[in-house]
Amino acid sequence: MDNLDLKIIYLLKENSRITIKNISKKINLTAPAVKSRMDKLIKNKLIESFTIKVSSTLEKRKFISFITLFMKTTSHEQLQHFLKNNIGVLEAYRISGNGCYLIKFIYKNDNDLITFLDQISLYGTHQINTSIAQIK
């Protein structure tokens, strides 16, 4: 993992359909050398996937809420394990300020939300803020 690998990653991040030959020109290496570096980056999971960004108008509409959790127990490990394995949890942060965790939760309907809230009620109380419009 050196500077050339970082340049390859940077170029692919800008345009993942760039040709290997094109990369090789930009970083002064031959095409086979670039390919073998790319293969290694993929194998070592430094590059996780090749994908596209799609217009948000195409994505399915879903609900998003931000849940602040105030712990009443000290079962942090158990909670973190639960959060990591819940598919609705997009992001989760341990915070300092007002509360212990801030959780970004995505869901289709009220039922999904209620189920989730019931589950975290084992660990503490919560306060919930629901997005009513995404500005950005």
Residues that bind DNA (CB under 7 A): 4, 19-22, 28-33, 35-37, 40
Tokens 């094109």 found at: 22
Neighbouring residues of 37: CB distance < 8 A, sequence distance ≥ 6: 4, 5, 8, 29
24, 68 in Cβ contact below 8 A? no
- H or E segment and range at residue 68: strand 63-71
Residue 107: strand, helix, or coil: strand
Residues 87-126 touching a copy of itself, rule: CB under 8 A, are 89-99, 101-102
Q: Out of a copy of itself, DNA, none, which partner does residue 40 contact, by CB within 5 to 8 A per kind?
A: DNA
Number of residues near a copy of itself (by CB under 8 A)? 48
Our CB check for DNA shows the closer of 21 and 81 to be: 21
Residue ranges binding a copy of itself (CB under 8 A): 9, 12-17, 45-55, 58, 64, 66, 68, 80, 83-84, 89-99, 101-102, 127-136
